[in-house]
Amino acid sequence: MNLTDREAVEVLPEQVISYHGSVDGIINNAGIIHDFVNIQDLDYDKIKLVMDINFYGTLYMTKSFLPYLLKRPLGHITNVSSMGGFLPVPGQSIYGASKAAVKLMTEGLYAELQGTNVRVTVVFPGGVGTDIMKNSGVAGAEKANASEQNMSQLLTPTEAAEIIINGMETDQYRVLAGKDSKMMDKLYRLSPKRAVGIISKQMKKLINK
């Protein structure tokens, strides 16, 4: 499934329902990052691809499935943002912008769906041991992965999935997945400038100049 193809996404609900009989919830988790470079060095094609997958893909899925979820006794939409969606990460500014867009779109959706049968959750994972860097074609992925391992104790994909599913089952508005996400969320709320300084120092060596 190409999430950047709106027409393909729009026919997906009927395909899912024809196979499974119904759909009661969706988790929008697909996403990519870009090379660790400053905005001025990131080409527009890559910027567009990141926004198309991370934001528009989530938007297409949400809009396509929502009419069907509204017909169910209880429905749930969970959109995965990122720790980078509330905390700016140098070298991943466009990725962060795409995930910040997911954050605000999801929070707006939550407000719009109050009083309906559809619940909404936004998730902010920290470091998770996936192949997102390699799969995104990021230059220096091995070095970045090694550095990230030193920065935090990564969640396994299974642990992250359990946290996300629990967030849906307990109807949480906001899910912080991982100790790093919880810590930086608190710090960013307390002192945004200090939080940015800390993450900037950690990420400086990864930025390709």
Residue 120 backbone dihedrals phi, psi, to 5 degrees: -135, 135
CB 79 within 8 A of CB 65: no
| Active-site pick, 60, 68, 95, 110 | 95
Residue 124: Cβ within 10 Å count: 24
CB 84 within 8 A of CB 99: yes
Residue 162: Cβ within 10 Å count: 13
Written as six digits, the tokens of 174 are 């906001």
Cα-based angle 148, 86, 134 (whole degrees, multiple of 5): 35
Phi and psi based region of residue 115 (left: phi greater than 0; alpha: psi -120 to 50; beta: remaining): left
CA 98 to CA 100: how far, in whole Å?
5
Nearest to 175 by CA among 103, 70, 116, 118: 103
Is residue 173 annotated as a catalytic residue, yes or no?
Answer: no
Q: Which residues are catalytic?
A: 95
